[in-house]
Amino acid sequence: MAKGDTVFVCQNCGWTTAKWVGQCYECHTWNAMVEELPIETIANKKSAKAQKIEDFTVTFSQVETLSASKSRLSTNIDEFDRVLGGEDSNFGMVLGSVMLIGGEPGIGKSTLLTQMVVGMLQPSKTGSSKSEHKFMYVCGEENPAQVALRIERIAKQFHENVTTVKDNLIFVTTADVDAITAAMQKLKPRCVVVDSIQTVTTTDLSGAAGSVGQVRECAERLTTTAKALHIPLFLVGHVTKEGVISGPKVLEHIVDSVLELSGDRTGDLRILRAIKNRFGATDEVGVFRMREYGFESVSNPSELFLEYADTQVPGSITACVMEGTRPLLVEIQALVVESQLAMPRRVGRGINLPRIQVLSAVLQKHCYLPLGSTDIFASVAGGFEVKEPSIDLGLAVAMASSLNNKPIKEKTVFIGEIGLLGEIRSVNLLDRRIKEAKRLGFTNIISKKTHKSVRQVLSDLQLLKSKTT
């Protein structure tokens, strides 16, 4: 298609022009013009209406039959399958689903997907000596030789058959989306990995690779092909300096699942979250440890996060949070010291700063703790990030423990949300959290069932200050 056959559309109001302009003439929004392909002509619309209605309609009974015959495809990585969703030991990818995985540079996105490909290309457990399916890996950022080095390293560590991988893994070195979709239609691979979507382009648009128009158009064409052929498709996405996936927001609407791989690059802990998942629970989490050869699944993350929680130190407590369908016990640490500044500092790592500020105000108002002139530093041990309010009670007790320089009795776990009036509120799935805590040997569980207010908890722990006039 010639360059002049494209149009520029305002993403705010929909105004269209044949040439790019910095400001929309209709709504006066700056930098909102994106190059797109023109809409269908009237003749094309008439031809679509002339098609038989059976060509694009399906009955509900046919839908049920189709879904029942399509089982999930396991990635052979337990934590990865958990995030993708499933039930009754049938976890993993849904055939024809499109998954977008994002993360900071160097966090391990390509390594995780390469490890998945190596595991899935191994001979099946039925005894066959050779894999019967082919995989397609689109090399947009690396050449095949670089990917091959990573494959050999992973296969050697896990004692996998490298020959099977070599015979059934097809590298695609072109960035043309039409060539990629043509290869998918001809080869019909079992799974496709595109690394990354920002490097794929179409000649129908004049924009550079990674532009809004290119990313959206290429993602739509790849998604259409994957769903038509029932091929699971992984798209690797870049992130901006703010930490969100770059490109148009519509990219996250096109795909079926949005996965986020996060963690401190200086540490070995990696966490895979499902921000969006049409075929499973959202906010599910998979925990990995980064090794020299690749990723190691952590089947019991609570033991990892509680590695140093046995030592009784003031300001250290254990709380229970929910990540998806799984309860996790984490260590909350707080350090409260006298401030040398006119405005005391509130610093959180893995904990939202507003949560620390609200809890310090509640402790000042209802428990008479002198926190107005102290610096408060709080963190979740192990680099984990907690967003749910069930850590309120544990964080408040950790702050009071550090202020009074008094440790908490071992084998104690705190579960509960704290309101502005100092009351302890119940949290969802409380019974499941308590069961997990007892399974790990915790005997003293403090929650809504045992105490009504945070003042009562601090009084029982002898951390309460008397009211001064």
The CATH number of residue 192's host domain is 3.40.50.300
Choosing from 299, 333, 357, the residue where a domain stops is 299
92 and 222 in a single domain? The answer is yes
For the stretch 241-261, pLDDT in tens is 777 787 778 888 999 999 999
- Do 286 and 272 touch, CB atoms closer than 8 A? yes
User: Quick check: is 467 in a domain?
Assistant: no
100 and 175 in a single domain? The answer is yes
User: Quick check: is 69 in a domain?
Assistant: no
Number of separate domains in the chain:
3
Choosing from 299, 330, 360, the residue where a domain stops is 299
Choosing from 275, 299, 323, the residue where a domain stops is 299
The tokens 């019974």 sit on which residue? 431
User: Quick check: is 134 in a domain?
Assistant: yes
361 and 218 in a single domain? The answer is no
* Cα–Cα distance measured from residue 464 to residue 460, given in angstroms and rounded to the nearest whole number: 8
**Which pairing describes strands 257-262 and 233-237: parallel, antiparallel, or unpaired?**
unpaired
Count the alpha carbons within 13 Å of 323 in the hemisphere toward its beta carbon: 23
158 and 173 in a single domain? The answer is yes
Q: Does residue 294 carry a pLDDT above 50?
A: yes
307 and 290 in a single domain? The answer is no
Three-state SS string across 124-182, please? CCCCCCCCCCCEEEEECCCCHHHHHHHHHHHHHHCCCCHHHHHHHEEEECCCEHHHHHH
Chain centroid to Cα 445, Å, comes to 30
Q: Does residue 145 carry a pLDDT above 70?
A: yes
Q: What is the CATH number for 385?
A: 3.30.230.10
174 and 279 in a single domain? The answer is yes
Residues facing 333 on adjacent strands: 316, 379
User: Quick check: is 50 in a domain?
Assistant: no
24 and 90 in a single domain? The answer is no
23 and 136 in a single domain? The answer is no
Nearest to 321 by CA among 214, 395, 270: 395
> Using 50, 70 and 90 to split pLDDT, how confident is the model at 178?
very high
For the stretch 435-445, pLDDT in tens is 989 988 899 99
Residue 185, domain extent: 74-299
> Which one has a higher pLDDT value, 167 or 70?
167
8 and 140 in a single domain? The answer is no
For the stretch 24-46, pLDDT in tens is 888 888 888 888 777 554 345 44
Region 221-237: what's the mean pLDDT?
A: 94
User: Quick check: is 51 in a domain?
Assistant: no
155 and 292 in a single domain? The answer is yes
User: Quick check: is 57 in a domain?
Assistant: no
User: Quick check: is 55 in a domain?
Assistant: no
237 and 264 in a single domain? The answer is yes
Q: Does residue 53 carry a pLDDT above 50?
A: yes
243 and 316 in a single domain? The answer is no
User: Quick check: is 398 in a domain?
Assistant: yes
